[in-house]
Amino acid sequence: MIASLKGILSYKSTNYVIVDVHGIGYGVSVPLSTFYHLPDTGEMVRLVIHTHVKEDSISLFGFSDPRERDIFHLIISVSGIGPRLAINILSGISAEELVKAISTENISMLMSIPGIGKKMAERLIFELKDKIRGVASEEMPGEDVHVPVKEDALSALINLGYNSGIAKKAVDKVLHECGEKLTLESLLTESLKILSS
CATH (domain of 12): 2.40.50.140
Residues 118-137 have a mean pLDDT of 83
Q: Give the domain range for residue 52.
A: 4-63
User: Does the pLDDT of residue 148 top 80, yes or no?
Assistant: no
**Residue 137 DSSP class:** T
| Number of domains present in the structure of the chain | 3
Residues 37-58 have a mean pLDDT of 92
Q: Give the other-Cβ count within 10 Å of 173's Cβ.
A: 13
* CATH number of the domain bearing residue 159: 1.10.8
Question: Length of the chain in residues, anyone?
Answer: 197
* CATH number of the domain bearing residue 75: 1.10.150.20
Exposure string over 138-153, b if 16+ CB within 10 A, otherwise e: eebeeeeebbebbbeb
Contacts of 155 (CB under 8 A, 6+ apart): 14, 32, 36
Greater confidence, 119 or 177? 119
Greater confidence, 84 or 152? 84
Residues 40-50 have a mean pLDDT of 94
Report how far residue 119's alpha carbon sits from residue 81's, in angstroms, rounded to the nearest whole number. Answer: 12
Q: Are residues 125 and 107 in the same domain?
A: yes
User: Does the pLDDT of residue 103 top 80, yes or no?
Assistant: yes
Greater confidence, 189 or 138? 189
Instruction: Output the pLDDT for position 87.
Output: 94
Report how far residue 82's alpha carbon sits from residue 60's, in angstroms, rounded to the nearest whole number. Answer: 13
pTM value > 0.75:
no
Residues 47-72 have a mean pLDDT of 90
